[in-house]
Chains A and B, each alone.
Chain A
Amino acid sequence: MSRNTRILMSVIYWAFVVYLFVPLVLMVTMGFKDSKFIGFPIRGWTLDWYSEIFRSAEVLGAFGYTMAIALSTTFLSLVIGTWIAAFLGPHKFRGKLLVFALACMPAVIPGIISAISLRIYIQFLQIDTGMAAIILGHTIHNVPFVALVVMARLATLPKSHIEAARDLGADQLVAFSRVTLPYLKPALIGAGVFCMLLSFDDFVRSFFLGSYQPTLPVLIFAKLRSGMSPEINAISTVVLVITAILGIWAERSMRRMNKGTSV
């Protein structure tokens, strides 16, 4: 590579970094602005917006609600996704590909379409809008990701490990829980965090399937309509920090575990 191309490459690289991070930096900065309006110039700084959101029953309620939905969704998605992966992985049967394609479809259907169809579907099932409906919608959306990640991991589990467990006296269930599950742990952590983020972040499905109690994204949307205020930036910053911590933790623990299992 010539000197000029190298310089050009690093300019492009940094331009891209700036392009990615400026919006985030702006958002975080505005959350500390001592004024009701978002925008420059900034004349004073304050932490009021943060103390306000931590005292606001509305924000805290939405946060708790969203968290509860995300946790339930993650749990359900992991159980169902792992079950599908474990069932589809080793067994050979007619129409396996079809079942697999059907199971994966919710992941690629546009959010708005799946939201509308789910809304119709819950009416048909006579499930009220609200938490259960949102959890149902999120789970259907997340299961394919879990199944794919778990299946990829499962494919690398040597058959002899299960056989060794059986050989040493484990029945199928014990072999699954004591050998297969620990082997899947990094995949489950990764998929679980991904489910949390997908669910926490989801707007369209939560909007269509929710009732009076808004999830955090829906609340932010509602607040936006009454004008942009730094309060929104403060909420978003908190969400950003939590998400980043979760992501980094998942990445590190997956890396650590993958290292240990590559025997």
Chain B
Amino acid sequence: MSHDAQTIVHIENMTKRFGNVAAVDGLDLKIRAGEFVTFLGPSGCGKTTTLRVLGGFEIPTEGRIILDGADVTRLPPNRRNVNMVFQDYALFPHMTVGQNIAFGLELKGKTKAEIDARTRELLEFLQLGGFRDRTPDQLSGGQRQRVALARALAPDPKLLLLDEPLGALDAKLRGQVQVELKDIQKRTGKTFVFVTHDQEEALTMSDRIIVMNGGKVEQDGTPEDLYFRPQSRFVAEFIGETNLISGTVRGMENGSVLINWNGVDIHGAAHGHRPTEGSKVTASLRLENVLCHPQKPANSNAIEGRVVNRLFKGSRTSVDIRVGDTGEGALLKAYLDPGDASRIRDDRLWVNWDVSHLSILQA
């Protein structure tokens, strides 16, 4: 087995079955040290199961977990250097904040002085200075979340696992804690493995997102990759809002793919695959990548259309545009900036896009 210094954990062809159900099916990936990796996917896709296998709470049916070069597949949670922040925080109710944080350190056999110093350091680091002697029931949701984080960070784990740790917070606090958490990850340089089903949260915080569906990896890449270059229809639809464009390939033109979309000729990027002429393809085009013009822009292949629906949404206006002059035509969703919204007339406008933004999806 090759082990490069960068890889902190290698999930080797891991399958976990509960009865006949494969919660995780042949997952194989390497996580690099210092990465903020997020498992993202709909409910039941196997995110929690993957995290629990990493934490030692489940033993995989097949495959291995290599942590920092050592096989830990069958080690119980207390014997692997990995800590977890639970969704409900799981703070010990009969212990103070300080005792909660010290728990893992005591069990590691640290001296009283070491424990005190480390606890103090973490309390300060997470702005919990005045809360050391409070019990968890005397804290707010956000404070509890930070205590859970401090407790998990205290033993200095190789990997920090977080299972939807922001799920219990209200929307406003959530946004704030997302920023804090990302900041903490940067400052500690720890490897964070984060689980969420909230795509916005994943995009905000992660260095790398692994989109899962039905126990399998759907796509693995940076937030930008996933957002602008989704490889499957599932990813395109799961992350953000998008136009799904189905058409027939007419051929290649200047490195881009020419597609017939309900009678309209449009250009798109293949991003690696080679669609054959005459084949049916689906492509994704983000709403904000659709550029709208009141007049036909010079030397571009903009297409003409008309607005069939306009929805004012405050900072921008969302529009449904029918393009092409055939009766049926094709529908495109787009956003208008406040300036454009007044300049663009409903009965006639032109739309175009950067060719690379129209990504052709794998069948």
Contact = CB atoms under 8 A, between A and B. Distances in A.
Contact of A168 (B103, B135, B144): B103
B137 A163 contact: no
Contact of B93 (A160, A163, A169, A183): A183
B155 A262 contact: no
Contacts, number: 76
Interface string B70-91: 0000001110001110111011
A174 to B, nearest CB: 7
Contacts of B56: 166-167
Interface in A162-221: 163-171, 174, 178-179, 182-183, 185
A208 to B, nearest CB: 42
A147 to B, nearest CB: 22
B41 interface: no
A161 interface: yes
Interface range, A side: 20 to 34
A179 B92 contact: yes
A185 to B, nearest CB: 8
Contacts of A171: 76, 78
Given A170-B78, A171-B78, A262-B137, A164 B107 contact: no
Interface in A141-166: 158, 160-161, 163-166
A171 B107 CA distance: 10
Given A158-B88, A179-B92, A167 B137 contact: no
B321 to A, nearest CB: 49
Contacts of B144: 263
Contacts of B187: none
Nearest to A174: B107
A123 interface: no
B90 A158 contact: yes
Given A160-B86, A168-B155, A169-B155, A263 B107 contact: no
B64 interface: no
A117 to B, nearest CB: 41
Contacts of A259: 137
A246 B55 CA distance: 45
A164 B88 CA distance: 11
Nearest to B109: A169
A263 B93 contact: yes
A161 B155 contact: no
A167 B104 CA distance: 8
Given A160-B86, A160-B88, A168 B93 contact: no
A46 interface: no
B135 A161 contact: no
B88 to A, nearest CB: 6
Contacts of A165: 92, 103
A158 B107 CA distance: 21
Nearest to B52: A163
Grouping DSSP codes into helix (H, G, I), strand (E, B) and loop, the A interface class, with mixed when no group exceeds half, is helix
A174 B109 CA distance: 13
Interface in A213-240: none
Contacts of A253: none
A163 B57 contact: yes
A44 interface: no
A171 B75 CA distance: 12
A260 B135 contact: yes
Contacts of A263: 91, 93, 135-137, 144
B151 interface: yes
B94 interface: yes
A166 B40 CA distance: 26
Interface in B114-157: 135-137, 144, 151-152, 155
Given A169-B104, A171-B78, A174-B107, A164 B137 contact: no
A181 B225 CA distance: 49
A169 to B, nearest CB: 4
B86 A164 contact: yes
A161 B92 contact: yes
B30 interface: no
Name which of A161, A168, A182 has the most chain B CB atoms within 10 A of its CB. Answer: A168
Contact of B94 (A167, A170, A174, A260): A260
B90 A261 contact: no
B110 to A, nearest CB: 11
A143 to B, nearest CB: 25
A168 B86 contact: no
Name which of B76, B92, B152 has the most chain A CB atoms within 10 A of its CB. Answer: B92
A166 B76 contact: yes
Contact of A167 (B55, B91, B135): B55
B107 A167 contact: no
Contacts of A160: 86-88, 90
10 contacts: A161-B90, A164-B84, A164-B92, A168-B104, A168-B155, A178-B103, A183-B93, A260-B135, A261-B137, A263-B91
Sort A-B residue pairs by CB-CB distance and give the 7 closest, nearest first: A169-B107, A168-B104, A160-B90, A164-B90, A182-B94, A261-B93, A166-B77
Given A158-B90, A259-B137, 6 more contacts: A161-B92, A167-B77, A168-B83, A169-B104, A261-B94, A263-B93
Interface of A: 158, 160-161, 163-171, 174, 178-179, 182-183, 185, 259-263
